[in-house]
Chains A and B, each alone.
Chain A
C-alpha cells in the first residue's frame, strides 16, 4: 500500500513538472475550464435556489385566482361574481383583489399597486417596497405624485416601508387604499382586478375550479398548484438563458476535450518515448496522463464551484444581473437562500471531470504502446 502511494506521488511529481513546463497553455486551459464550471455552477445554484425559495414562499399563495378574460385578454372582473362563487359547495371564502400596474414616467419603472385590507392605511397614504424607495429616492414622510387615468395629478404620502429582506416578493409593491386605487385607475366599485378563493377541502380544488368555469365561462381559474409549477419551471433548460449558457459551455468544453483527444504534440510524444525507454511501462504512462487530466479538471472543477457559489450567494449573481434585469428599471435586491442539489453537483462533476480526464488519456494510449526503440532514433 505504501509502495502504491509513493508510486502515485512520484508520478504526480513528474506530471506536475510536465504541466508547469507548458505553463502558458495549461494556465489558459485551467482558466477557461474554471470559467465554464463557474458559469454552469452559477446557473445551477441560482436556478435551484430560486426554485426552492419560490416553492417555500409561494406555498401560502391564494388557492385559486379567478380571472376574467375577454378576447384572451385579462379584464376587470365584476364583484357580483363573488356571490355566484360563494354559493358553490366547498368554497370557504371569496375575496376581491385590487391590484394593477403603474408606469412611473419619472424613472421609467413599473410599480405594482395593491390594495390590502390586512395592512392598515389611511386615504392619502402609501407603503412602499424597498425597490420603489430605491429607484424613486423616496423616504418616510415624502410625497409621491401620481397621474390618474383622467390626467389628474395627486400626491400620496409615504408612511411606511416593506422590509428589505422581503425584496423578492415586495420590491416593486406600493400598498394603497381602495379609494385611492379607484381614484387613480378610474375603476368603479362594481369591478375588481380578480377574485381569490379558499376552499374547505384542498383536495376538492379542481372540482370547485370546474364548477366556477361552468358557472362563469368568461373566467379562467389559476390554481396554486399551477402557480407553483410555473415557478418550478421558470428557469428550466428550455428557457432562453439556460439554453444559451448551456450551449456555450458545452461547446467550449467539447473544444477542449477535442483538442486533448485529437493528439499529442511532438514534444509530448518524444517525452513518452523517453519514459518508455528508461523503463516506464505503458500503464505508467497512462497513469501519468490520468493524473494530468485529473489535476487540471479537478482543480478547475473545485475552483469553479467555489467561485460559482461565491458569485451567486455572496455577490448576488452579478454576472447574470444585466440579463435578468433586461429593460427593467427596478430590479429587486435579494440574497437567495442557498439550496444546493447534491445530485446536480455530482452530475456536473461527471460531465466535466470524467470526460476531460478520459480525453487526456486517449491520445496518450496510442503513444504509450509504441516500441521505445523509436526514441533511440
Chain B
C-alpha cells in the first residue's frame, strides 16, 4: 500500500547544522497490517512518519501510495491525501487548548464544508464508542492523560482514514492506560485499517496486534522482524 524507495530527508541543507534524518531508505508497508517503527531518539522514526503521512517532502527518493506516486504532488493534493487517507495521533497529542474536546475532533473536517450538525453527530458517535461521551463538552485542559489520548484518536478517525499513524502513543501513559490504548488499536485493525506506530515501548513492540517491527537507527533500517 505504501512504498518508499531510496528516500532521503535532509534538514538545514547547505547550512553548518545540516542534518540527515533519513538516509536512502526503502520500505514497503502492506494494507491492513500493523507496523511498529522502533529505535532510539533521533533515529529518524518521526521523520519517516512525516514522510509517509505526507507531512513533509523527501529531499530525494520516491514515495507511492496505493500505486500512485506522491513525491512531487502539489501541496493541495498532499493535504487532501493527508486529510482523507491518514489519521495522526501525535506524540504530544497537539490538542488545541481553550476549546472543547468535541471541537478539537471536528477541526480536521472544518475546511471540507461539512454541516456542523453532521460533524457533531459523527464526533459524538466516536466519543461514545471510545467511552468518553461525557467529556465531549469539556475543555481539553481539564482532561486526564488517557482521556486526552482518546480525544486525539477520535480526531484522527473523524475523516475515516484508512491509515492511522501514531507517534510514541504510550509515551505519557501508565501501564493500564497503555493496555487500553492497545485494545483500541486492535479494534481499529479489526476494522481493516493500516496502523503505523513509532515506539520504543516493549509493551507496544511485543503486542499481539503487531505484524511487523522495523528497527531504525541513524535514519537507516537496521533490522526487520515479523
Q: Please give, as numbers and ranges, the residues of chain B lying within 8 Å of A284 by CB-CB distance.
A: 110-111
Docked pose: A197 CA to B75 CA in angstroms: 79
Listed residue (A21, A276, A278) with the most chain B CB atoms within 10 angstroms of its CB: A278
Q: Mark B110-153, 1 if CB is under 8 A from A, else 0.
A: 11111110010000000000000000000000000000000000
Interface size on B, residues (CB 8 A): 36
The reply to whether A277 and B110 form a contact with Cβ atoms under 8 Å apart is no
Q: A21-B98, A279-B83, A376-B167 are in contact. Are A371 and B111 (CB under 8 A)?
A: no
Docked pose: A7 CA to B112 CA in angstroms: 6
Listed residue (A371, A376, A377) with the most chain B CB atoms within 10 angstroms of its CB: A376
The reply to whether B82 and A371 form a contact with Cβ atoms under 8 Å apart is no
Instruction: Decide if B108 is an interface residue (CB 8 Å cutoff).
Output: yes
Instruction: Decide if A9 is an interface residue (CB 8 Å cutoff).
Output: yes
Instruction: Decide if B213 is an interface residue (CB 8 Å cutoff).
Output: no
Docked pose: A252 CA to B96 CA in angstroms: 32
Instruction: Decide if B107 is an interface residue (CB 8 Å cutoff).
Output: yes
The reply to whether A376 and B107 form a contact with Cβ atoms under 8 Å apart is no
Q: CB < 8 Å: which of B91, B111, B114, B119 contacts A376?
A: B91
The reply to whether B110 and A11 form a contact with Cβ atoms under 8 Å apart is yes
Interface size on A, residues (CB 8 A): 31
Q: Which residue of B lies closest to A270 (CB)?
A: B94
The reply to whether A10 and B110 form a contact with Cβ atoms under 8 Å apart is yes
> Main SS of chain B's interface residues?
helix
Docked pose: A38 CA to B82 CA in angstroms: 46
> Main SS of chain A's interface residues?
helix
The reply to whether A6 and B116 form a contact with Cβ atoms under 8 Å apart is yes
Shortest B225–chain A CB gap in Å is: 25
Q: CB < 8 Å: which of B47, B88, B111, B167 contacts A10?
A: B111
Q: Please give, as numbers and ranges, the residues of chain B lying within 8 Å of A9 by CB-CB distance.
A: 116
The reply to whether B111 and A7 form a contact with Cβ atoms under 8 Å apart is yes
The reply to whether A10 and B116 form a contact with Cβ atoms under 8 Å apart is yes
Q: A274-B94, A376-B90 are in contact. Are A11 and B111 (CB under 8 A)?
A: yes
The reply to whether B94 and A21 form a contact with Cβ atoms under 8 Å apart is no
Docked pose: A371 CA to B91 CA in angstroms: 17
Q: CB < 8 Å: which of B94, B103, B113 contacts A17?
A: B103
**What are 20 of the A-B contact pairs (CB < 8 Å)?**
A5-B113, A6-B113, A9-B116, A10-B119, A17-B103, A21-B99, A275-B107, A278-B108, A279-B108, A279-B159, A280-B110, A281-B75, A281-B76, A284-B110, A371-B56, A372-B50, A372-B55, A372-B82, A376-B167, A377-B46
Closest 4 CB pairs of A and B: A7-B113, A279-B83, A373-B50, A3-B113
Residues of A within 8 A of B (CB): 2-7, 9-11, 13-14, 17, 20-21, 271, 274-282, 284, 371-373, 375-377
Known: A276-B79, A372-B56, A375-B90. 16 other contacts (CB 8 A): A6-B115, A6-B116, A7-B111, A11-B111, A13-B116, A278-B155, A279-B79, A280-B79, A280-B107, A280-B111, A371-B56, A372-B82, A373-B56, A376-B49, A376-B55, A377-B46
